[in-house]
Structure formats: C-alpha cells, structure tokens
Amino acid sequence: MAWIRIEKKQIKGKLMSGQTALLDSPEQEYILPGNRLCAGCGVTIAYRFILKALGKKTVVCVPASCLTILHGIYPKTPVMATTVNNTFAGTGAAASGISAALKATGREDWHVLAMAGDGGTFDMGIQSLSGAAERGENIIYVCYDNEAYMNTGSQRSSATPVGAVTTTTPINPKEQPKKDFMKIMEAHSLPYMAAVSSSYPGDVYNKFLKAREIKGTRFFHLSAPCPTGWWYPTKDTVKIGKMMVEACIFPLYEVEEDRVSLTGKSLSIARSGGKKPIDDYIAMQGRFKKILPEQVREFQRLVDKRWEALLARAGY
Amino acid sequence: MEQTLILTGAQAAAEAARLSRVQVIAAYPITPQSKIPETLSAYVERGVLQAQFVRVESEHSAMGVCIAASIAGARAFTATSANGLAYMHEQLHWAAGSRLPIVMPVANRGVAAPWTILNDCQDTISQRDTGWMQIYCMNNQEALDLVVVAFKAAEQLLIPCMVCFDGFLLSHTFMPVSMLGQEDVDSYLPPYVPFHTLDADNPVNINPVITSDPIADPDGVMSPGYMGIRFRLQKSLEEALPVLRQAGREFGEIFGRSYEDPLFRYRTEDADFVFVAMGALAGEASEAADALREKGVKAGVLGVRVYRPFPAAELYEALCGRRVAAVIEKAISYGYEGALSSEIKASFYAKSGPAPAITNYIVSLGGKDVAAADLIQVATESIAAAKSGTVSDRARWLGFE
C-alpha cells in the first residue's frame, strides 16, 4: 500500500541508523487508516508498533477506554487483531482468562495483550491487574497513560499530575501528585517492565520485541499525550511526549529482575546530561493554566527525586 | 451401576464439574461455597482433572476469567455465594450479553448487611434479571445432576446457567448421591465447541460499542443494534424451556433420573392446597404436605426447579383449579412481595382458568429455621383466609421475631 511506503520513508529520514529495529518492522499494518480517536492522539502511534511487534496471533483485551473507541463501532473495526472487550475493572482478569483458555486448549503460541488506560489501571483496574501479576499470568499488560479519564471527558484520575485542571478539578487544579505506578508494579517482582512513550515508537517497538520472548506478566507504562485533555495543539503530540522524556518527567527505562536500564533519550541524558526543566512543558498546556508556583516547585521536586533514584539504580 | 457416595452439596457440585471436564476454573472463596474450589484445586493439582485453575483475587475477576476463557474456547466454571455473587453482578450481565455457556453453582446465602453466612435465596433472586438461566436444586443428587444438565443446555442455547442450592442445608449436609460414570457423562455431554474460534487470519472485535440503530457492515449487510442483540437473548430464553426439558429427558434416559419437568411435583394430582417453593424448601414442604394429608387436607407441593426461563405455562396448568396456593419464599422484592409470588399471579392474568387463592410467605431469611410445623401453620392460615375471603395482598413474614 502506497501510504505505508511514504510513511516509512519519512521515518527513515528522521532516525539515526542503528538506533532501532523499527525499519525492520513488518509492513503488515494492524490498524487500518481511519479510526475514531481524536486527531493527535498518542495512543495510536504506539499501538501501531505494539501490534507490529506482537504479530497476528495476538488477542487484545480492552476495557472501557479510549481504545474501545479506536476499535470502532459494531459491525466495523479498523483493527486487524482479535479483540475482547471487557469490564472496566476486569482487564487483568480477562487477560488471565484468555491465557488460561489458550493453555487449556494447547494454543500457547498466541500472545495475550491487555491494553487499559490510566483510569482502568491506576484506579479501577488495579485489583485485577495486581491479582494477575501476582499469579504470574502469561500476559503483556500495557497501561496507556493520558493522565485522566479522557474517554469520558477528561475527569481526574490518580494518574493526573499535580496542578492540572480536569473536568472534576475545574476550579482548583489537582492537589495531589501522580501515583508512582511503576513502583507498585515493581512490588510484584515481574520478569519484565518498561516505561515507553508514544513519541519514541522505535523504543516501543524494540521493547515489545524483547517482551514477547519473555514468559510471565510483562508490564508496560506507556505515556500517551492527549491534546484533547491536555489542551495543546494536535500537531504537538510528539513534541509534548518528547518534552516529558527530555525533562525526565517520564524517563524511558526497563526493569528486569530489579535491574534498571535506561534506554533511548533517557540513557543519553544519563550519560551526557541535558535534562531540561519542566517549565516549558507546563507552559505549553492549557491544563496547567491554573497551576500554582508552589505546585510547579513540587512537581519539579518529585521529578528530580524520581530521576535521581532511577539514575542511582541504573548505575549513574 | 455406579456407586453411591455420601457427599455434601458442595462436593457434589465439584464432582459434577470434574465429570463435565471443565477446562478453566476460576474461583474466589466464600462460605458456604468454599468446598467447591477446594475440591477442584486438589483434583487439578493431582492431575485427576485436566484444567487450568485460576485462583483469582475476587469474584468480579472469577467471572471475568470465565467470560474470557469461554470466549477463547474453553468450558468455564466458577462457583460463589451471597456477596460474592453480588460483587459479580456487572460480569453476570457481560456473560449473558456475550452469550457464553458458563455454568456456576451458587450455594445460596443471605446477603449483607447485616452479615449472615446462613442460607436464604436473596443472592440469586437478586440476579434474576441478568439474562442467566437459574435452576434450583432440592437435594445433593440434584446438585450433581443438574450441573451436568446445565452444561448440556447452556452450550446448546449459548446462555449461562446458575445452579442454585441452599447453603449449609445442602452445601454442608452429607447425603447419599448416586455417582455418574465418566463414560456416560462423556456421551451425554460432548466437548465444548465455542461459537467463535480464534483465527489469526480472521480477527474479530468481540463486544464492541454498538449503536441503538442497526448499521450496515462493509458488505452492506445490516447488523443489529443494541436492542437487536438483547432481543436475541430474550428470544433464546423464551425458547429455552424445550431445550432444558430435552436435556433433562436425555439425562434421565442415561442415568435413570429425568429432569424433563421444570417443576418438582409432590402429591399434586388431587391437591386442593399446594405449597409452591424453591430448592430444599420444597423438601421441607413435602414433609408438611404428608402431615396435612394425615389431617385430611389434600395438600401437595410444587417445587420450581427451573426458575429462569420461567415456566409460567407449567405453573398455570399445575395450579389452575386448586383452591389455595401458598408461595413460600426465601427472598423478597423489597417494597412489594416475593418475586415468585408475583410471577405466579401474573401467570394467571388473561387466562380463563380459575386461579387459586394465593398467599405469600417470606420464610427462613438468614438461616432462620423453618420446620414442617411452621409450614402446617402456613397451610392452615392460608386455607382459612381463602375461606373467609381475607387473603392479604401483602407477604407475611414468618417467625421474624
């Protein structure tokens, strides 16, 4: 298909050689052109390469979320992967059930991919995810994080950062900092965890290639900027996602058996410096229009603290 | 001839799951259901049963696992009680809406608050409108048999089924149970063939968002909207009784105990007075009916074995022309009366046959003991009220203080 070739050429122009296996990714597209998500949505960028990495023998479990919208309205779907929609709180359980059935019927060559939002993971889905992770279910669970209940109209979640206005913190921006969910998942002693951003699809693709070869519960925290809820121009999604990584608000890394490895841009910041302050990132988004100066300081303090801890664990 | 074992109801239900060769089991412990997952865990660990046992962190997840496993092509099984069933409520709608033949024994228990671990049927009656079939067992033999029958019917109809039996009264009480031979069960219940098979080259999106109006698919074929999908569930449930009857009859042909009749009938042929009850209460009522007969009252019992789909025509036929019917229930639709009572009255609406005087008694909530003597009192009161034309339009609570 012509449009794929054009796009691939564009990617080639932007990437440094040897940086990623992205250019070797299959031409097969699992998300067809045209879906119902908002213009500028970060989720689609990453999801495209997640499905390329896992291939066609993948069952996707999706709770109520923006991804439900991407998957389309019956009887049409733009996604070429078998998908099971499940209850809002039940993604971990649904993925466990698919995995159990595949095992019981001798079809363990399939991948089970759970894709839930931050509301369906940090808040409502935490119980079934924790249960699945503790049991070591053979699933890949992705929390795509757009930092609020975006599908229902941008209500606050426990992934919403301090200082953000949402439709349920409309007058006073959110007072509490974002929950450190990777820390919670680390407590489950998983064989593989990774933080990825939709602005770095090569990093996403590489990590999923790696994860697919590992057995057990694999957890991804995927940062997916949201122009609709964060109030920035739709053309800036990739830029905003990169700013999050450059300011070390959302570092890219892997955790394997307690071993932390920084990757991509975060690795180069660790090696060569260049960590940016959060101010420009904050200033670019309407959701932070009411953030208080002390909240900016608190935000920066938490970013620094977490980054320093990651650096120490990664050996820098 | 298969051997007779002395089993609790919970053990009988677990044996039924083993004999049905369930492939995925997901369960969370709750009294009085716990012996079911305990028994099956041991069977799976010892290799007696080839199944995946998912030891979930909640009942919501237990049903979530069963739904997904059933979609992916495995025969799925769980069991619960009371608040566990209530916690599953959302998933029950998903299971029925997805048309999955999951079978779930429920050891009936009262629902908190306040806490009770003891028996009534409020837990399952509260889930009446989720689109599941509901079968109620009178004894442990039925707890064994009807789980197998439920799988047979559920897989033909693609409708999930609860097999309900009274907590403690059956779940923890040992009774002689005639076992079923594995080969016989295998011939009765063939392997589960899912409606949809996972196919990497033909991916599908299961349970997506659906509109209220039908939409054409890419080939221009109109697909149903939400109501269309839901109507198909209702239509299948309306047509389910013959399938259940057939499954019950075939079971009888192999094992000698027929469940073709959705009603349990005891001494009803010439009865003027009929108790209508569900579950073990029908057994208790049979004892009371015997005693009443000794006193010269022509008493009988109807046990509602299949509650959903509701056997309205059978109940109408069975009660038409009787003088008095006392509907005794271990659950209530708060603010009105027992659901079964309302439904039996409704079955007489717009029918020409003479309806009996119908009284409604709420009994035994939270394990409150109800003895045959209490039921004899119910009969005496009901007959007197019918004679004097003073049948109350309110349910009477028996022995609540």
pLDDT (tens digit per residue) in B346-396: 999 989 999 999 999 999 999 999 999 999 999 999 999 999 999 999 999
What is the tens place of the pLDDT at every residue in B35-52?
A: 999 999 999 999 999 999
Which of A59, A72, A127 lies nearest to residue B208, judging by beta carbons?
Answer: A72
Q: Give the list of residues 6+ apart from residue A136 with CB closer than 8 angstroms, or none.
A: A216, A217
Would you call A83 and B52 a contact, using CB atoms and an 8 Å cutoff?
Answer: no
Domain at B30, CATH number:
3.40.50.970
Q: What's the distance, CA B107 to chain centroid? A: 10
Which of B70, B73, B205 lies nearest to residue A79, judging by beta carbons?
Answer: B205
| A23: in domain | no
- CA dist B286 and B301 (Å) reads 6
Chain A closest CA to B146's CA: distance in Å?
24
| A211: in domain | yes
Q: Above 50 in pLDDT, residue A4?
A: no
For A154, left (φ over 0), alpha (ψ -120 to 50), or beta? Answer: left
Res. A23 pLDDT band, cuts 50 70 90: confident
- DSSP-derived secondary structure letter, B399: S
| B92: in domain | yes
Which ranges in A167-263 belong to alpha helices (H)? 181-186, 201-211, 227-230, 237-246
Interface test with B, best of A30, A31, A68, A74 (most B CBs within 10 A): A74
Same domain, B184 and B292: no
Q: Sign of the C-alpha dihedral, residues B254, B255, B256, B262? A: negative
Which ranges in B239-311 belong to alpha helices (H)? 240-255, 281-294
Interface test with B, best of A69, A105, A151 (most B CBs within 10 A): A105
Same domain, B79 and B179: yes
For B213, left (φ over 0), alpha (ψ -120 to 50), or beta? Answer: beta
Domain at B353, CATH number:
3.40.50.920
Chain A closest CA to B292's CA: distance in Å?
51
| A266 membership: H or E segment, kind and range | helix A264-272
Q: Above 70 in pLDDT, residue A98?
A: yes
| B66 membership: H or E segment, kind and range | helix B59-71
The structure tokens 């603010």 sit at B335
- DSSP-derived secondary structure letter, A125: T
CA distances from B301 to A167, B274, B315, B380 (A): 59, 5, 12, 15
Same domain, B175 and B67: yes
| A22: in domain | no
CA distances from A84 to A100, B1, B223, B227, B302 (A): 15, 45, 19, 20, 43
| A94: in domain | yes
What is the tens place of the pLDDT at every residue in B234-288?
A: 999 999 999 999 999 999 999 999 999 999 999 999 999 999 999 999 999 999 9
Q: Above 90 in pLDDT, residue B332?
A: yes
Lowest mean pLDDT among A25-39, B98-112, B298-312, B353-367: A25-39
- Residue numbers in B near A95 (CB within 8 A): 68
Q: Is A177 on the interface with B (CB under 8 A)?
A: no
Q: What is the ipTM of this complex?
A: 0.97
Task: Please compute, for residue A133, the number of CA atoms within 13 A of its CA located in the half-sphere on the CB side.
Answer: 25
| A5: in domain | no
Q: What is the mean pLDDT of chain B?
A: 97
| B151: in domain | yes
Same domain, B249 and B335: no
| B206: in domain | no
Nearest residue in chain B measured CA to CA from A105? B74
pTM of the model: 0.96
Domain at A205, CATH number:
3.40.50.970
pLDDT of the residue at B184: 98
Which of B61, B70, B201 lies nearest to residue A128, judging by beta carbons?
Answer: B61
Tell me the residue ranges of DSSP E strands in chain A: 58-62, 82-85, 111-117, 140-145, 192-197, 218-223, 253-256, 259-262
Q: Is A244 on the interface with B (CB under 8 A)?
A: no
Q: Is A130 on the interface with B (CB under 8 A)?
A: yes
Number of folded domains that form chain A: 1
Chain A closest CA to B195's CA: distance in Å?
14
Which of B57, B65, B73 lies nearest to residue A105, judging by beta carbons?
Answer: B73
Q: In 3D, which of B361, B399, B354, B356 has the Cα closest to residue B381? A: B361
Same domain, B98 and B39: yes
Task: Please compute, for residue A187, the number of CA atoms within 13 A of its CA located in the half-sphere on the CB side.
Answer: 7
Same domain, B178 and B284: no
| B287: in domain | yes
Same domain, B301 and B175: no
Residue environment code for A157-182, b if the CB has 16+ CB neighbours within 10 A, otherwise e: bbbbbbbbbbeebeeebbeebbbebb
- Expressed as residue numbers, the domain containing A105 is 36-314
Q: Above 90 in pLDDT, residue B105?
A: yes
Same domain, B245 and B317: no
Return the structure tokens found at A188: 């489950």
Provide mean pLDDT across the span A30-49. 94
Tell me the residue ranges of DSSP E strands in B13-167: 24-26, 52-54, 76-77, 103-108, 133-136, 161-166
Task: Please compute, for residue B108, the number of CA atoms within 13 A of its CA located in the half-sphere on the CB side.
Answer: 34
Nearest residue in chain B measured CA to CA from A87? B91
The structure tokens 């109501």 sit at B227
- Residue numbers in A near B198 (CB within 8 A): 59, 82, 107, 110
| A12: in domain | no
Same domain, B281 and B152: no
Domain end, chosen from B211, B228, B254, is at: B254
Interface test with A, best of B205, B213, B219 (most A CBs within 10 A): B205
Would you call A97 and B69 a contact, using CB atoms and an 8 Å cutoff?
Answer: yes
Chain A closest CA to B294's CA: distance in Å?
55
Would you call B57 and A82 a contact, using CB atoms and an 8 Å cutoff?
Answer: no
Q: Is A34 on the interface with B (CB under 8 A)?
A: no
Q: Above 60 in pLDDT, residue A18?
A: no
Which of B64, B70, B205 lies nearest to residue A93, judging by beta carbons?
Answer: B64
Please name the residues between 80 and 99 in chain A that touch chain B, using a CB distance below 8 Å.
80-87, 89-90, 92-98
Return the structure tokens found at B393: 């339009």
| B109: in domain | yes
Would you call A86 and B52 a contact, using CB atoms and an 8 Å cutoff?
Answer: no
Q: In 3D, which of B41, B61, B73, B53 has the Cα closest to residue A95? A: B61
pLDDT of the residue at B2: 78
Q: Is A36 on the interface with B (CB under 8 A)?
A: no
Would you call A83 and B215 a contact, using CB atoms and an 8 Å cutoff?
Answer: no
| A8: in domain | no
Provide mean pLDDT across the span A224-241. 98
What is the tens place of the pLDDT at every residue in B288-321?
A: 999 999 999 999 999 999 999 999 999 999 999 9
Same domain, B95 and B178: yes
* Contacts by A105-111, CB closer than 8 A, 24 or more apart: A105/B23, A105/B72, A105/B73, A105/B74, A107/B198, A108/A138, A109/A57, A110/A57, A110/A58, A110/A59, A110/B198, A110/B200, A111/A54, A111/A55, A111/A57, A111/A58, A111/A59, A111/A140, A111/A212
Same domain, B250 and B277: no
Q: Above 60 in pLDDT, residue A8?
A: no
What is the tens place of the pLDDT at every residue in A55-96?
A: 999 999 999 999 999 999 999 999 999 999 999 999 999 999
Nearest residue in chain A measured CA to CA from B63? A93
pLDDT of the residue at A20: 58
Would you call A97 and B23 a contact, using CB atoms and an 8 Å cutoff?
Answer: no
Number of folded domains that form chain B: 2
What is the tens place of the pLDDT at every residue in A182-215?
A: 999 999 999 999 999 999 999 999 999 999 999 9
Would you call B68 and A110 a contact, using CB atoms and an 8 Å cutoff?
Answer: no
- Residue numbers in B near A152 (CB within 8 A): none
* More confident position, A24 or A238: A238
Count other C-beta atoms under 10 Å from residue B87's C-beta. 18
Q: Above 50 in pLDDT, residue A10?
A: no
Same domain, B54 and B127: yes
- Expressed as residue numbers, the domain containing B179 is 4-193+241-254
| B177 membership: H or E segment, kind and range | strand B175-178
| B224: in domain | no
The structure tokens 């007058």 sit at A171
